[in-house]
Structure 1
Amino acid sequence: MILIRESSVKGDRVQKEELIHLHMLMVTVKKYYETVTGDAVSTNKYDSLLISPVHIHKNKNSHKEALLTLADEIVERLHSHSGQLSPEYQGKTSFPIAVKP
């Protein structure tokens, strides 16, 4: 049995393992968006951090910064995109995608 110590900072109860999992999910969201829309998401700020979800030796704050930076860059792309899918992906998603223009 593995015991995970909670953070001593009040209100910061997300564990490192959870942040790494969320980090991986955000990378998956980025790849899915790029596949469905045919648009690349520019991740210059995220890339400059030199951390990915597989870097489990990095500290919790590094993963948190990477996760939030990647999320910001994805949101920036969503806001600047018209919301149209590439023709080859029209009707091929397993669920509807709603993107506000």
Structure 2
Amino acid sequence: MKKQELIHLHSLLAQVQHHYEAEADSEVEHDRYADLGVKPTSIHKSKTDHKEAVFALATELTTEMAEATDEPRPMAAD
């Protein structure tokens, strides 16, 4: 994958994170991602840096979503 494609994927994952946080009304735990200091707009960072950030963000998003689906949901009123 080219650097430009990784940056695009990184941007998409960041949008998914923001959308999920808005819909779930909670924040995604993203300490590892934040510690990397690589944002989608950090175009000066290396391809390897963006790849690591993509994996960190994807892992943290899927972990959060998996935990949210394990919680019991309230029954809908008929």
Judge same fold: TM > 0.5, yes or no: yes
1:83 Cα offset (Å): 7.2
Whichever structure has more helix as a proportion of its residues is 2
Runs (5+) with no aligned partner, structure 1: 1-13, 85-101
> Alignment length, in residue pairs?
71
Counterpart of 1:29 in 2: which secondary structure? helix
Equivalent in the alignment of 1:43: 30
Residue 71 (structure 1) aligned with residue 58 (structure 2): yes
* CA-atom RMSD in angstroms: 1.4
Residue 55 (structure 1) aligned with residue 42 (structure 2): yes
The residue type equivalent to 2:27 in the other structure is A
Residue 23 (structure 1) aligned with residue 23 (structure 2): no
The residue type equivalent to 1:55 in the other structure is S
String of CA shifts for 1:36-79, please: whole Å, max 9, x gaps: 11011010000000110111011101000000100000001011
Distance 2:51 2:10 in 1: 8
Taking structure 1 as the reference length, the TM-score comes to 0.67
Runs (5+) with no aligned partner, structure 2: 72-78
**Divergent runs of 4+, >3 A:** none
1:82 Cα offset (Å): 3.4
Q: Percent of pairs identical after alignment?
A: 37
Higher RCO, 1 vs 2 (CA within 8 Å, ≥6 residues apart): 2
